[in-house]
Amino acid sequence: MTYRVCFVCTGNICRSPMAESVFRARVADAGLESVVEVDSAGTGGWHEGEDADPRTLSVLGEHGYVLAHAARVFEPSWFARRDLVIALDTGHLKALRRLAPSPRDAAKVRLLRSYDPGAGDDLDVPDPYYGGRDGFEECLEMVERAGAGLLAAVREELEGRTT
């Protein structure tokens, strides 16, 4: 049975596609690409159909990540087909939980940095869109740090399904 993870930010052109690309690489490195599907979306449709922000693509490329992308909006009906919905900041977390059709679906929504034991109290990944390239580098570092913990959590869920 496939385990499905969706990363969600505001417009689906910076943080969530970056997280999608990084986590997809982690999943492939772990040999789990046949059982884990990774995608991303936004809470709003301002950039629907567009590629990721050029700065996102540049930073990802320089760090060896690949991304084929078209921005889209997260729909409430998607909860039925996702096991985990990863919000990039607390605003997205609240918006997604409001969209959730049931308490069970709302429980699927988690903050990405909650999987980083070194994150401290601030679990938001700041939006790099209005800043310079350094914000995109910082975003990538945060996403990478949370990736190992997220992968461990997904592995645990997968193991629980087979026992």
| Catalytic annotation, residues | 9, 15, 127
Q: What is the C-alpha to C-alpha distance for residues 10 and 15, in angstroms, rounded to an integer? A: 8
Q: What is the C-alpha to C-alpha distance for residues 87 and 108, in angstroms, rounded to an integer? A: 10
Q: Comparing C-alpha atoms, which of 139, 8, 4 is closest to residue 63?
A: 139
Q: What is the C-alpha to C-alpha distance for residues 10 and 74, in angstroms, rounded to an integer? A: 10
Strand runs labelled E in 10-98 = 36-42, 84-87
One-letter identity of residue 136: F
